[in-house]
Amino acid sequence: MTAKKGKNIVLGVTASIAIYKSCELIRRLKECGFEVKVVMSSRAEELIRPVVFSSLSGNKVYRAGLFGDADKWEIEHISLAQGADLILIAPATANIIAKLSAGICDDLLTCTVCATKAPVLIAPAMNEGMYNNKVTQGNIEKLKSCGYKFIAPRRGVLACGKSGVGCLAEIEDIVQEAKRFL
């Protein structure tokens, strides 16, 4: 299955240690012909610099703040939401899942997701205890009932050094799921 040229993916990147895998994800999505625009959470910027994603995507990286450049009039979360054919959040932390589940719109990524009519695909990556927490699982179920789609994390060695469920799904699996939507 090949991607349709010109399809736009807004890639939300949050502060999971799996953030480095987003680099390969961008590369693979671009190879499939997708246009990728990255929106980073503020904490994600503590793990990887926006210039990396800008270089890989060939686009400006949208950062956590809600207000863009003063010399340019654009409501970024609305233009991103309207221009998206798919919003993909990978890696997705327990925090972003909880905020979306509660309807909290306090940064560019959450506002963009709230404003879009595009499908939303979420790829969690976190410690097994956090992933299996009843609150996190309840948040995931709530979002699923609202039409959000999830690609489950896989079992592997976690950042804490222990083995468990919580590793970001394989990049190829995420790409195939994105292609399925588009």
Tell me the CB-side half-sphere exposure of residue 6, using CA atoms within 13 A.
Answer: 0
Active-site residue 167, yes or no? no
104, 39 contact by CB (below 8 A): no
Catalytic residue among 23, 32, 111, 160: 160
Return the HEC string of the chain: CCCCCCCEEEEEECCCHHHHHHHHHHHHHHHCCCEEEEEECCCHHHCCCHHHHHHHHCCCCECCCCCCCCCCCCCHHHHHHHHCCEEEEEEECHHHHHHHHHCCCCCHHHHHHHHCCCCEEEEECCCHHHHHCHHHHHHHHHHHHCCCEECCCEEEECCCCCEEEEECCCHHHHHHHHHHHC
**Residues taking part in catalysis:** 160
